[in-house]
Amino acid sequence: MKPKLSLLDEELVTQIIDEACQLLIKPGVKVQNEEARQLLAEAGAEVDEENLVVRIPEKIVRAALETVPREFKLYDYEGSPKVQYGGDAVQFDPGSSGILVLLPETLEHKTAESEDLIRVIKVADALPQYDAQSTAVVCHDVPKDLHDLYRLYLVMLYSNKPIVTGAFTNKTVHRMIDMLAIFAGGRDELRNKPRAVFDVCPSPPLIWSNFGAGQLIALARAGIPAEIVSMPLAGAASPVTLLGSVTQHAAECLSGIVIHQLAQTGSPIVWGGAPAIFDMRKGGTPFGAIETAMIDSSYAQVGKSLGLPTHAYLGATESKVLDTQAGLESGMGALVGALSGINMISGSGMLDSLLCQSPEKLVTDAEGIAMAKRMIDGMKVHTDTLATGFYEGVNFKGGDFLKQKITMKLFREEQYMPGKVIDRDSMRGWRESGSMDTFTRAKLRVKEILASYARPELDSTHEADLHAFVLDLAHQAGLTELPKLEDAMPV
């Protein structure tokens, strides 16, 4: 029996989709990309060229939903399928595009550079709880023109896991696809076995910017999976009601899917997002708020009702340090996401509303993820009788069950064995091993991981070609050479 969280009944799901379709007609969607408007007009949508507003009839929406793939996979460097989009598969990746990293010794939130991203990649590479890498922080030691693709470059050098990424301009998305194609052995090969999914963001409320719509079109035509990251901000950039925001999310995703499928039918796309409630005291976007998680769970349920692959931003916190708030918000987020059956849950490692990444938080969050994954594994019936078969030879003594063969056989399946970040020691044992709190244990764990890290074995031609490709782009951006990388400077 697998547990499942459903915050909406069927009637509400139907009403959300119905009202989302109404929104696509009134007020319509603002589409700031000319090619997208043209595609929509050709399909029969009513385009107001003066105000850039497009009204999309429901039948166009329904047609697009018919051609979207129900599932697809992401592959690792070797070409093995590792991430399943679609159905109730639950997977996690670190939160992405932070601009800061937490320095564990000083607690400074430092502007991120190459060495910081490399640390994050190494930690995410070592932890099985992360099914994919993300391009987790922007490296400020390279020029702005390289910001998006340089992150991808480092991930490709330091990990062989699948990648959740995204481009920052309509031009660089093509360069990033080129980079992935170098490792895949060509664009066709990449299309057959995509290693990465690209996040694409509409702008709330109901706007597809020139950039956002341009990404949808480029990715659809390249056959590289796109992941819509719709960001309603309940009470500011979307209705204050959670259900109103879920409906706006649906309208933004549906219109995105229409543009995407019109550019290339059958291209893979994900029903995803990074919504939040609007904090009415500080004006912030609390990703650790329970209502944020409720919006995520609900829109995922809507996406699933349409048979689409899903994504959400959960497991992050507003806290600035690795403290109790960080733990409770991240853990609850991971659990809600897992129980909602969301295919890719991004956000781990993130402090301060997705601004600051922390490898120490990544190792801690990994424990919450493992617990959430255990939870959705559910109650399992391992034996013919639930209990009566266990009592033979039991002599009313406390340790009797510890001596049963079946205990040894099943304990690892029944119990998740937490890593060293989780303390279950006696008071005495805890004191004797240094009276460490979670953050101190996490710092040690990160050091251990970094010390034992080994770079994946990459084909030397691939690596040289990728390096030459990125170096050429660096030259165009006015950089004479790429930053020196400590343990891996490809020739």
Partner 1 sequence: MSEELEALFKDMAQSIIDGDSDISVELAKKSIEMNIPPLDAITKGFVVGVNYIGDQFGAGEAFLPELVMAGEAMKAAVATLEPELIKLGEARETMGRVVLATVEGDIHEIGKTLVGTMLSASGFEVTDLGVDQPADKIIGKAIEIDASLIGMSALLTTTMVRQREVIEEMDKEGLRPKIKVMVGGAPITRDWATKIKADGYSEDAVGAVKLAKELVGKADA
Q: How many residues lie near partner 1 (CB under 8 A)?
A: 16
Rounded-to-integer distance, Cα 367 and Cα 129, Å: 8
Distance of CA 281 to the CA centre of its chain: 28
Q: Where are the alpha helices (DSSP H) in 127-234?
A: 147-158, 172-184, 187-192, 210-222
Q: What are residue 11's phi and psi, to 5 degrees?
A: -60, -45
Site for partner 1 in 116-135 (CB under 8 A): none
User: Tokens representing 479?
Assistant: 């950089």
Nearer CB in complex with partner 1: 290/402: 402
Rounded-to-integer distance, Cα 467 and Cα 483, Å: 12
The nearest distance, CB 408 to partner 1, in angstroms, is 4
Helix or strand or coil: residue 395? coil
The nearest distance, CB 330 to partner 1, in angstroms, is 24
Q: What are residue 203's phi and psi, to 5 degrees?
A: -110, 125
User: Tokens representing 138?
Assistant: 């922007």
Answer whether the bond into residue 205 is a cis peptide, omega within 30°: yes
Nearer CB in complex with partner 1: 324/426: 426
Measured in Å, how far apart are the chain's first and last C-alpha atoms? 53
* Region of 58-66, 182-190, 401-409, 446-454 interacting with partner 1 (CB under 8 A): 401-409
Q: Which of 429, 468, 472, 475 binds partner 1 (CB under 8 A)?
A: 429
Nearer CB in complex with partner 1: 435/461: 435
Residue 92: which residues within 8 A CB-CB, separation 6 or more?
129, 130, 131, 132, 315, 334, 344, 345, 346, 348, 369
The nearest distance, CB 403 to partner 1, in angstroms, is 6
With contact defined as beta carbons under 8 Å apart, do 21 and 64 qualify?
Answer: no
Q: Which of 1, 379, 387, 417 binds partner 1 (CB under 8 A)?
A: 417
Helix or strand or coil: residue 408? helix
Nearer CB in complex with partner 1: 281/405: 405
Nearer CB in complex with partner 1: 26/428: 428
Q: What are residue 129's phi and psi, to 5 degrees?
A: -65, -20
Site for partner 1 in 340-399 (CB under 8 A): 397-399
The nearest distance, CB 394 to partner 1, in angstroms, is 13
* Region of 8-16, 73-81, 262-270, 428-436 interacting with partner 1 (CB under 8 A): 428-436
Answer whether the bond into residue 27 is a cis peptide, omega within 30°: yes
Q: Which of 320, 420, 462, 467 binds partner 1 (CB under 8 A)?
A: 420
Q: Which of 407, 437, 455, 488 binds partner 1 (CB under 8 A)?
A: 407
What angle (nearest 5°) sits at the alpha carbon of residue 17, between those of residues 15 and 21? 115
* Region of 178-186, 350-358, 386-394, 426-434 interacting with partner 1 (CB under 8 A): 426-434
Q: Which helix (H) or strand (E) holds 101?
A: strand 100-102
Rounded-to-integer distance, Cα 152 and Cα 150, Å: 5
Question: x/- site string to partner 1, residues 296 to 315, per CB under 8 A?
Answer: --------------------
The nearest distance, CB 410 to partner 1, in angstroms, is 9
Residue type, 2: K
Q: Which of 26, 282, 405, 484 binds partner 1 (CB under 8 A)?
A: 405
Nearer CB in complex with partner 1: 414/457: 414
The nearest distance, CB 402 to partner 1, in angstroms, is 5
Nearer CB in complex with partner 1: 62/409: 409
What angle (nearest 5°) sits at the alpha carbon of residue 200, between those of residues 190 and 248? 140
Nearer CB in complex with partner 1: 128/478: 128
The nearest distance, CB 214 to partner 1, in angstroms, is 52
Q: Does 435 bind partner 1 (CB under 8 A)?
A: no
Q: Which of 290, 402, 488, 489 binds partner 1 (CB under 8 A)?
A: 402
Helix or strand or coil: residue 91? strand
Nearer CB in complex with partner 1: 219/421: 421
Q: Which of 42, 432, 457, 472 binds partner 1 (CB under 8 A)?
A: 432
Rounded-to-integer distance, Cα 237 and Cα 407, Å: 54
The nearest distance, CB 75 to partner 1, in angstroms, is 32
* Region of 260-268, 411-419, 456-464, 470-478 interacting with partner 1 (CB under 8 A): 411-419
* Region of 59-67, 163-171, 228-236, 422-430 interacting with partner 1 (CB under 8 A): 422-430
User: Tokens representing 179?
Assistant: 């980079």
Q: Which of 382, 411, 437, 447 binds partner 1 (CB under 8 A)?
A: 411
DSSP state string for 33-75: -HHHHHHHHHTT-EEETTTTEEE--HHHHHHHHHHS-S-EEEE
Are β-strands 53-55 and 311-313 bridged in parallel, bridged antiparallel, or unpaired?
A: unpaired
The nearest distance, CB 131 to partner 1, in angstroms, is 25
The nearest distance, CB 125 to partner 1, in angstroms, is 22
Q: Which of 408, 468, 488, 489 binds partner 1 (CB under 8 A)?
A: 408
With contact defined as beta carbons under 8 Å apart, do 92 and 338 qualify?
Answer: no
Give contact residues for partner 1 (rule: CB under 8 A). Answer: 397-399, 402-403, 405, 407-408, 411-412, 417, 420, 426, 428-429, 432
